[in-house]
Structure 1
Amino acid sequence: MNRENREHFQVMIQAKDMAGQMGGLSGTTTVNITLSDVNDNPPRFPQSVYQFSAPESTEIGSPVGRIKATDADIGVNAEMDYSVIGGDGLDTFDIIADRATQEGVITVRKPLNFERKSVYVLKVQVENTRLDPRFSSMGPFRDTATVKVTVEDVDEPPVFERDSYTMEVKEDADAGTTIGSVSAMDPDSSRSLIRYSIDRRTDMDRLFNIHPGNGTIFTLRPLDREETAWHNISVTATEFSNPRQLSRVRVHIRVLDVNDNAPVFATVYETFVCENAKSAQRIQTVSATDVDEPKGGHKFFFSLPPEASMKANFTVKDNRDNTAGILTRRSGFSRAQKSVYLVPVVITDGEFPMQSSTSTLTVRVCSCDRDGNMKVCSAEAYALSTGLSTGALVAILLCVIILLMIVVLFAGLRRQKKKEPLIISKEDVRDNVVSYNDEGGGEEDTQAFDIGTLRNPEAIEDGKQRRDIIPESLYPPAARRAPAGPARDQADVRDFISQRLQENDSDPTAPPYDSLATYAYEGNGSVAESLSSLESATTDADQDYNYLSDWGPRFKKLADLYGGEDSDRDS
């Protein structure tokens, strides 16, 4: 039987009793038979040659085309594998099986180049994944076909000879010095000319430039290795025929070191020497540093300047290990005679061209004990011995001063809060405020005092005992509303002023005599009642102004109290 020809069969079966004799009974049933598949058919390509095309810009792994073989079997017996077994595109293309559709998908394995090769021929094979050994005698269960792939030309951007470039230039090179060159070409058959340029986003300081025709890179101004040792720029190559076709490459420029910096002290050295120091005593060890980086490492030499070596109090001993010791040349130093010595030290490197500089060491004279421990010295030397610098001491002193100022200010504010204000509110002022800046000569000097506005008793807060006037129990309200005679008013004002003066003299928190003293007491009652010109205009023309005669003696008494015999005050 062949399942590929007929898969299903139906059989009717009859059963009879009485051995099938006449008169017996019978029954029938139907049996359905389905043939199961075996792998007895090889896969076959429906055509022997397949043709596809792909642009040369196709990326690696991208599909080029699909082919499919047929197999009369079903299920796992119809599963197939595809492979490239020959042809000139064996290393350029690949084929994989799609298990969902049992198709062979041809993909790109290496970049395509139309200018290098435009047509590839592949020999592709297909076979079953599971073979049945019972049918091996029927022949190989595989098939082959030929696949031709045509590569299409695409306008491609320029291609650089290298993926990146590395160049070197000395830091003392003059402007216009050539560093190196880059090269790119148009991969298309047209071979368009290439124009080169530098991406200025990678060269913001405009240190380099490139020849647009041949790709030569040169400097625009001198370089400094100590500032920047490496420069990474991007060079762009553009086709003249199609400016949209461009490519970029990275160029790494290394700046080579040149001995153009002199060595200096490794740090700011400050030390001290004891007054009882002996000759040839080491007081400090110094070292140097240099921003240059010679290939063989640094080599420094230390010495005194020739002009300072004749009358020097100190000498320099080179340790031959890039350090030097500062030694005394005599015994005994006097802090009273000279407290600070400045020792110049010449530092020279061993490179070419040789560079040298002069650094200064500060030596302070201090009083020491027999063991050489410092006892008395200047503030800077003491800070040096205790590990504190001058800047640290200044910072500590400033902090102490600021804290003292804060404490004094806080105490003054608390003291000011406890003192009663001179003026309680703006509504209590009934006249202009008079101010003066004459310190005066004491109570005998009439120019030192001035009576400003007086406080109104009716504006006093309820329940608050006033200290600037005699309590109201001495002046009943009825008495204040009655016309006051000259003698009572004089005593009232005199007592008020005397009380206020006594309070200010005995109060330690009172302001000095040249400060403003404000009073808001107008006295008890007024004969004039109102001096408004508006009210006078509405009354009869024969209004009585005799009350002015009562005020004359009052002003006279006030003038006697303050001015004495001053005729101007009397008037």
Structure 2
Amino acid sequence: MFNMSQLGVFSHVLFVVLMCYCVESCVQKHIHAQVPEMLEPGYVVTQVNLDGCGVGPLGLTSSDPAFTIQMDGTIQAVLLNVVPVDGKSFWITVQDHQGHRWFMDVNLSSTGQVSNSAVLKRSKRRWSPPPFSVKENGKGPFPKDMEMIASDTSVNYSLYYVIRGAGVTLNPVGLFSVITNTGMLRVHGPIDREQYPKIVFVAHAYNVYNDQETDSPLPITVLIEDENDNPPEFSGPMVFAVQEQCPVGTVVGTVNATDKDEPNTLHTKIRFTLQNGTNLFRIDPSSGIITVSTNTLDRETVEKYILGIEIKDMNGAPDGLSNIGRAVVSLTDINDNPPTFTETSYNGKVTENAADVLVLRIPVNDKDLKNTPNWKAVYEITKGNETGNFFIKTDPVTNEGLLYVTKPLDYEKQPTVKLEVMARNEAPLVGTSAIWQKVPVDISVENVDEGPEFSVPTLLLKVKENVPNGTLIGIYTATDPETKSSNGINYYKLNDPGSWINVMGSTGELKTAMTIDRESPLVYNNTYNITVKAVDKSQKSGTGTVVILIEDVNDNVPKIPKPNQVLCSKDGTRGSILVEAKDLDQKPYSDPFSFQLGSANAGQWRLTGATGTSVMLEPTMDLPNGMYQVPILVKDLQGFGEEQTVFVQVCKCAKEGECAPQNFSTTLGVWGILAMLLGLLLLLLLCLLCILVCSTKGEKLPMADDDVPGGMLLKSNFEAPGEEVKDGLIIIPASGADVMDSFKGGANFGQKQTFGGSMYQNNMQGFLTTNTLSSGQYNTGMYGSSYKKYSTLSTMDGWRENKIQLDKKLVYFREEAAARFAEDILRPYGYEGVGSPAGSVGCCSILTDQESLDFLDSLGPKFKPLADVCTSKSQRGGQ
């Protein structure tokens, strides 16, 4: 039975569960368990099945602090409890990793039966003991007895105990064991807590007769008690930096340390102590934060500090373990030191008229960090450089000031220059009352013998254009800087683009030599420049410039730049054209212009819409197409002008300002017709001349068939390889047996033969003597004999010798040379290879007394067809 207060608690729990969570519970909502009236610490009430709550970590809490729920779902008493007669109730909260929460009511009673809704059977007997602890690094002898476990089922059964898991069958294997018949747990060696802070294994109780487990397995947790066996250790960097002259309390950095012993105990409570530098720094004993205890840190005095730091556990107790390390504190630079000059003043020398030269190096010292903006110097000339003759910059390597003369100095005007130079840094000064320093610099100008100097570097003269030649327009003289006199100085002209000015050598007078024209392209912006040179007795020289400002006169009339115009004729409308005029003169000698038609206008044109520089020209009547000349008088503002002619082409336009092409019939005039008639007459005379020439017969010139050397008639369009050579083409004459005997198988000489419509003059001619062919070189050695010079032979002997050599040649080309001369073969029509330089073998060549038979060596590829024919005939017995 529940009292009213318990009933109210349960009602509230049920209301929260119903209102806050609609997700289906992963555990049962109610658990009833029968327990003894007195619950000792460690008593296992029951076990909740958490398999349906997922695989993530669960949050398990009990509303009653006298009970706890372990991660495996075991509900266990942690305090001594007395269960009332009417029972005891509390609830368990289960929360998964997604934030879902469920509530489970637990009802305990000392009487009655357990509800069938329990996940596991209740523990019928109580295991003992509860979780216990073992000191790490325990000393032997081993094994040592720890605790005894026992199950209440031992009252009814004979039991033996078995343990499994971490420390037994898992790492660290063999650390624990159990005496099977008594349940005494034993430890077999020292344990390192830093490696195994807690060991959990499972104990089982079995019936010795049937080996059946008589009770639920009991998880046993062995807590390893910590021993202060690990000194603290430094962790993280121990290199710090802080700005010099920083205020007191500025944080330098934090020293970090760790201890492997059990957290949140004295074994890991570390105390930090500074061993040196305590007058400049301090360290917080518990946090390890280093701060500055003075504002006098000076990087230029000490740039780096090394601090000894002790860390000790047990909060610094004498029996604590300690360690010592070193922290490095570097001071960062600030610009608290201005650059200082090494001398109180500086002196330098420079030659007059010198420019862009280094005069002086000014060194400085700076204690700040080198090559930083706090150290790099910047120089300024604060006095004495009003004329801009000097320039100073910094040498990036040495940090010195480099003083240059950029504009020449004049000894006669200023023999000594006094300057003041200031040196500062790129960064402003901080943390100091010092200011930027200045130093005086005296520069002595050394005198040199200088050339003449003109009175002014540039002389401006005003001259009207078109002044007469020889007009004096000005005088440009120079003086010697040393003597201040112009005596002995001569003047010359260096530059005069148009040769308009003459310079008088001894006086410096400037006179016109040619007409000065303001409208000349040599004039720019109404000015014309010349350069004059002055030379003294020592041949020193100086130059000056004369700028002539040319004043305009009215020497140009307005001109019409486009006198040729096109007027497009349109049906029903009269066009107009714009006539513009230009005048090279300036105002008031130019526009506005006045326009007036000339006397020869005849009333065909009129002027309208005049402006200052243009006027519209339009016809007063419809004009036929053609060319018209319109005289127009154009005058400037002063009434100075002349009459000019505008040529107007009136036509139909294809596009604006361009006449369309005209038909021939419309452009053909009287002269065109006359030209056509003249051409026809000339053509008729040419025909009559041709008829007269063709009717005149020429004399026939007989071709003498004598012994005069002749030629060979060939078709002009004939292509290689030549006429076809056949056996029937070798014709033997009816007479001349001696010739037959002397040249059997060869060509017939001295006869006219016609082959294929071609006439050959076969008189004996000289054979070509060229012996170089496209396919190789022939010589007398090829045929095994030497040729005789023809001048030593009679005519008949010559024929015989020719026959012999030709026979050998034919055999060579037929047999021996077939492989060597690959091109000496028949080619198809159209072959355009290289032929024989000896010419055609279809006729005879001229033979003279001075020539030998060497031509046989030069018979090339074209000779092979004849060789084939002649050799075949010889094999058939033909002679």
TM-score bin, normalised by smaller chain: 0.3 to 0.5
* TM-score, length basis structure 1: 0.46
* TM-score, length basis structure 2: 0.32
The structure whose residues are more often helix, as a share, is 1
